[in-house]
Amino acid sequence: MKKILIIAALAILVIGGCKKEEITDEEAIMNIVEDSPFFKTSEHYEGQAVSDSGDTSHTAKGDSITPVLWGREMHESPDPDIEIKIYGDSAHVRYIGYNRGYLDILTWMADTGWILIKKPLSETFEIRAIFRRTGQETDENRGWELTHITGVFGVSDSTNTVRIDSVRIQSESYPDTVLRDPLSYFDVDSILTFNPGEDVYLTMYTNDSTARAFLHVFAVFPRHIRLPFANLGGGLYGNQNAWHVQLIPAPRLAVFDLMQFETLHDTEYPYDFCGWLFPYQVK
């Protein structure tokens, strides 16, 4: 009898030691957020300073410069503010993120030669998401699943005069589609989807007729592609040559980047930015 009691006690200890640590619904949702590519935004338009071609016929307010190389240099991303509201088997998440760093501009000036201008960069961005409990509380992440996600809306913090009003997509898959709100929800299984190598024409509608506009994507990480948009007049910017969608099927993110002209072409004007980021799929 004594031997039986000892074995039973050992069995209880083993079972107890293997028991999974219980987490809350909020912690389960946070685990999904931390692992999801939809919330990893900073690296999608950060990149080493690279050459860029575009219209520079404009008179700047201070010392006029023509960037030879430029790019964003992210130094830190402070902890995001994440708000989770649970309503039964549904949860709404509001994710506010922050980026800090520098906008690096390498230029040539006749009186000083090559100079590197580092403008402080500080921006805030927002993403929203909907989660649903599609399983049991005993399942992984207590049965929670990400079902709907928005794009990303980002702006510079100290100075912000530029605004994107809408983005028009024209391609074989989307003959004429207009995105009007980056915080509109997408079903994660029905995000924008393009064929490998598909030709896409984009038009950005903005509030500024002399800004600089770009598309940022990755070919194969970390190869960063920055496509300058031509100034079409009246606050419209577009790619006159087609953007060729990547060939490798995968979920991806595209950044629509709008900056005040002086941000890139004036020695003293601060970082002035508005950005929309949308998830898309190549398959």
Residue by residue, DSSP assigns 168-228 as EEEESS-SSEEE--TTSEEETTSSEEE-TT-EEEEEEEES-TT-EEEEEEESSTT-EEEEE
Q: Residue 245's CB: how many other CB atoms inside 10 A?
A: 19
pLDDT of residue 264: 96
Give the integer Cα–Cα distance in Å for 252 and 17.
Answer: 41
pLDDT, position 15: 44
Using CA atoms, how far residue 60 sits from 64, 109, 186, 208, 264, in Å, is 5, 15, 40, 15, 10
What tens-digit pLDDT sequence spans the chain (283 residues)?
A: 444 434 344 444 444 444 556 899 999 999 999 999 888 765 545 454 444 443 334 444 446 788 889 999 988 889 999 999 999 999 999 999 999 999 999 998 888 889 999 999 999 999 999 999 999 999 999 999 999 999 999 999 999 999 999 999 999 999 999 999 999 999 999 999 999 999 999 999 999 999 999 999 876 655 678 899 999 999 999 998 899 999 988 888 899 999 999 999 999 999 999 999 999 999 8
Backbone angles phi, psi at 28, to 5 degrees: -65, -45
Which of these, 264, 230, 244, lies nearest to 72 by C-alpha position? 264
Its pTM surpasses 0.95: no
